A and B are shown apart, each in its own frame.
Chain A
Amino acid sequence: MSESRRNFLRAFGAMTVGAAVAAPAAAAPAAAALPSSAAPAAAGTTAPSPRWAMVVDVGKCIGCQSCTMSCIYENAVPEDSFRTIVSTYEVQEGGRTAMVMLPRLCNHCADAPCIPVCPVGATYQQADGIVVVDADRCVGCAYCVQACPYDARFINHHTGKADKCTFCAHRVEAGLMPACVETCVGGARIFGDLADPDSTVSKLVAKGDSKVLKPELGTRPHVFYLGLDDRLTGKVEGEPTLWRPRATESHA
């Protein structure tokens, strides 16, 4: 199943219709809203586990930060922290100036450096590829924060635990899209099952022109970028932003 927003809306329509029928029959239409590889599991049959991934088409991103905001509201991300953000750059080259957007989030790496360093095994990878933190076990040592090469983790000041993007696992389990995908104005974020060769993300990645961030580290990220300049895949060598909220206040 394709997990683009359009296809998702079609599935959502099926679910809405299903909701109108009698309660005993409600399970079937609800399953129709699940991503295809999750639906059989919900029905109790065995099926290969999905491998969730995201493709970001930077050419479609308009830098509106809807994803940033929806993520904050969906996941109760505290002030001054972000699970996802659209890094925005003004690039000048050959007399031309352009704005370049680079949505950043946890890359849900296949070889995630944050997992082996966790001293209590609180960070782990689900069978579906999503890297999560067991908040009941996390000691807040921040070793995973240090080990993530993408600055995708932080210590949540409210909970005192490691925090990060989960691909909105709670929504995905319910057959919904991650909040950032659902609210993306330009349709730049495409979410789906990389294990399903018919999914949109599989087809886009299969074209071979997608890129990942910091490929030299061998972390095998599962967030793929379309149309990304090589000079932005690593640590961006540019003039720093002027917006530094921490420069003027302390969280003490």
Chain B
Amino acid sequence: MTILEVVNVSRDVAWLPWAVQYFFLVGLSVACFFMSLRGLLRGAARERGFARDALIGALACGLVAPVALLADLHQPGRFWHFYAYPNLGSWMAWGAFFIPAYVGGLLVYAWAVLRGDLAAAGQGDGVLARLQRLVALGGAPAPRLARLAAGWTVVFGLLILLYTGMEVMVVRARPLWDTPILPLQFAATAVTGAAGLVLIVARLRGDATPAADAAAARWMAGGLLATVLLGLVWLGLGLTGVAETHARALASVAGHRAWQLTAAWAALATVLPLALLWGRPAGWGWIVGLLGLHAAWMFRWTVFIGGQTVPKTGAGLYVYQLPLGHDGLLGIAGSLGLWVFVFVLLTTLLPPSPPAPVRPALVPAE
């Protein structure tokens, strides 16, 4: 029997590129935050530069991500409904509480571990120096507050990873999303992208060091290898039919040439940075950094936008064309522009660290 679909409805993408930006930025933020913990809390001087850059990445992404999420609402002015009428059976409702808890904790943690650097940077008489001293509030180390805020942020960072994964995973109506591995894939690609971001931040700030690059490379290699492993498990479960959800997910896209191309692209986006990390040719930091960011962003674009082009009832695939306006290209560029603004603000307040040997740890090594 052959069926030709003559008339059917073509549904628009309802989660816009703003959603891709949110999941991308919040994933990067949480992963960057975790990368910053060792260097900033344990006080190993040679790890501090990497950790500071990671924390700047975490702050910039963490402050921009909720804006992107708000923009994805079709009624952004009603965001307060999340708090006035929460339906706690919904993962998205929990996310509305996790986001401010995480961002708030991140800000307190950042202030506690960087206030000494702020005070040191604010030694002059200029407006900026006065602002730095004002924000530093004296600049005395606050190890207890740093640990408390770090602990709080670790908990809510993990909850952010959990809820963002579960929110998508529970959607049974979309077989591509309804796989238990998806939250882990989000986390692994977030680590990959975050390591790439730290490499880029270090180069933008001009404080890249071999030690910091090596730390970023280790995180990225871990993220990439985890992504490859999870991808193979996903494919294996789908091909063998051991897990029905994975078989349904694979079947929903496997027959389409566009998705075959996407799979090949994803494999290349994972293997190429791994190869570059192995060989480390000249200028590898920029290339691998951008490739890591690309891998994280592309994964989310494929899951969200690509996933919504698979009809739930109809034949074939829906056609998606990226609009040029606020719900498309302008939204992507706008969130990137906001990120650049926040990054400039942060790096103006926090100039690059002095060389590692003279850099004291805020918290004594234990």
Interface set of A (CB-CB < 8 Å, partner B) = 63, 65, 80, 82, 85-93, 99, 104, 113, 116-122, 137-143, 145-151, 154-155, 160-161, 213, 217, 231-232, 234-241, 243-247, 250-252
Q: How far is the CA of A90 from the CA of B14 in the complex (A)?
A: 29
Known: A119-B90, A244-B10, A252-B325. A236 touches B314 (CB 8 A): yes
Asked if A241 contacts B90 (CB within 8 A), the reply is no
Interface assignment of B321: CB less than 8 Å from any CB of chain A: yes
Asked if B93 contacts A87 (CB within 8 A), the reply is no
Interface assignment of B38: CB less than 8 Å from any CB of chain A: no
Contact of B173 among A113, A140, A243, A244 (CB under 8 A): A113
Q: How far is the CA of A85 from the CA of B177 in the complex (A)?
A: 26
Known: A146-B15, A235-B313, A241-B315. A139 touches B79 (CB 8 A): yes
Q: How far is the CB of A246 from chain B (nearest CB, A)?
A: 5
Chain A residue with the shortest CB-CB distance to B94 = A119
Q: How far is the CA of A12 from the CA of B74 in the complex (A)?
A: 41
**Across the interface, which residues of B come within 8 angstroms of A251, CB to CB?**
12, 323, 327
> Can you name 9 A-B pairs with beta carbons within 8 Å?
A91-B1, A91-B4, A139-B74, A147-B172, A154-B11, A238-B315, A239-B4, A240-B314, A241-B316
Asked if A238 contacts B4 (CB within 8 A), the reply is yes
Contact of B74 among A80, A155, A235, A241 (CB under 8 A): A155
Known: A137-B85, A146-B173, A252-B328. A246 touches B319 (CB 8 A): yes
Contact of B3 among A121, A151, A238, A244 (CB under 8 A): A238
Contact of B90 among A116, A150, A160, A246 (CB under 8 A): A116
Q: Which 8 A-B pairs have the closest CB atoms?
A: A240-B316, A140-B74, A238-B3, A252-B325, A252-B323, A142-B14, A160-B74, A149-B173
Asked if A250 contacts B7 (CB within 8 A), the reply is no
Asked if B92 contacts A117 (CB within 8 A), the reply is yes
Q: How far is the CA of A104 from the CA of B72 in the complex (A)?
A: 28
Chain B residue with the shortest CB-CB distance to A121 = B87
**Across the interface, which residues of A come within 8 angstroms of B326, CB to CB?**
252
Asked if B92 contacts A91 (CB within 8 A), the reply is no
Asked if B174 contacts A141 (CB within 8 A), the reply is no
Interface assignment of B8: CB less than 8 Å from any CB of chain A: yes
Asked if B319 contacts A247 (CB within 8 A), the reply is yes
Asked if A247 contacts B12 (CB within 8 A), the reply is no
**Across the interface, which residues of A come within 8 angstroms of B6, CB to CB?**
88-90, 99, 241, 243
**Across the interface, which residues of B come within 8 angstroms of A247, CB to CB?**
319, 321
Contact of B82 among A82, A120, A213, A235 (CB under 8 A): A120
**Across the interface, which residues of A come within 8 angstroms of B308, CB to CB?**
146
Q: How far is the CA of A139 from the CA of B5 in the complex (A)?
A: 34
**Across the interface, which residues of B come within 8 angstroms of A90, CB to CB?**
3-4, 6
Asked if B85 contacts A250 (CB within 8 A), the reply is no
Q: How far is the CA of A116 from the CA of B87 in the complex (A)?
A: 8
Interface range, B side: 35 or more
**Across the interface, which residues of A come within 8 angstroms of B144, CB to CB?**
none
**Across the interface, which residues of A come within 8 angstroms of B10, CB to CB?**
241, 244-246
Q: How far is the CB of B66 from chain A (nearest CB, A)?
A: 14
Interface assignment of B204: CB less than 8 Å from any CB of chain A: no
Q: How far is the CB of B214 from chain A (nearest CB, A)?
A: 41
Asked if A119 contacts B87 (CB within 8 A), the reply is yes
**Across the interface, which residues of B come within 8 angstroms of A236, CB to CB?**
3, 5, 313-315
Q: How far is the CB of A209 from chain B (nearest CB, A)?
A: 21
Known: A241-B314, A244-B319, A247-B319. A151 touches B9 (CB 8 A): yes
Question: For chain B residues 319-337, which have a beta carbon within 8 Å of chain A?
Answer: 319-321, 323-328
Asked if A143 contacts B92 (CB within 8 A), the reply is yes
Asked if A119 contacts B314 (CB within 8 A), the reply is no
Q: How far is the CA of A150 from the CA of B8 in the complex (A)?
A: 12
Contact of B311 among A65, A232, A235 (CB under 8 A): A235
Interface assignment of B96: CB less than 8 Å from any CB of chain A: yes
**Across the interface, which residues of A come within 8 angstroms of B172, CB to CB?**
113, 147, 149, 217
Known: A90-B3, A238-B4, A252-B324. A213 touches B9 (CB 8 A): no
Chain B residue with the shortest CB-CB distance to A134 = B85
Q: How far is the CB of B93 from chain A (nearest CB, A)?
A: 4
Contact of B313 among A146, A147, A151, A246 (CB under 8 A): A151
Interface assignment of B171: CB less than 8 Å from any CB of chain A: yes
Question: For chain B residues 79-97, which have a beta carbon within 8 Å of chain A?
Answer: 79, 81-82, 84-87, 89-93, 95-96
Interface assignment of B205: CB less than 8 Å from any CB of chain A: no
**Across the interface, which residues of A come within 8 angstroms of B84, CB to CB?**
120
Interface assignment of B225: CB less than 8 Å from any CB of chain A: no
**Across the interface, which residues of B come within 8 angstroms of A93, CB to CB?**
1-2
Asked if A147 contacts B12 (CB within 8 A), the reply is no
Q: How far is the CA of A45 from the CA of B86 in the complex (A)?
A: 35
Contact of B93 among A120, A235, A245 (CB under 8 A): A120
Q: How far is the CB of B323 from chain A (nearest CB, A)?
A: 3
**Across the interface, which residues of B come within 8 angstroms of A231, CB to CB?**
1, 3
Interface assignment of B312: CB less than 8 Å from any CB of chain A: yes
Among B81, B95, B326, residue most surrounded by chain A Cβ atoms (within 10 Å)? B81
Asked if A155 contacts B315 (CB within 8 A), the reply is no
Extra contacts besides A151-B312, A213-B313 (15): CB < 8 Å: A85-B9, A87-B9, A89-B3, A92-B1, A116-B90, A117-B170, A118-B90, A120-B82, A139-B79, A155-B12, A237-B315, A238-B315, A241-B316, A246-B10, A250-B321
**Across the interface, which residues of B come within 8 angstroms of A145, CB to CB?**
11, 14
Asked if B314 contacts A246 (CB within 8 A), the reply is no
**Across the interface, which residues of B come within 8 angstroms of A85, CB to CB?**
7-9
Asked if B313 contacts A87 (CB within 8 A), the reply is yes
Q: How far is the CB of B103 from chain A (nearest CB, A)?
A: 18
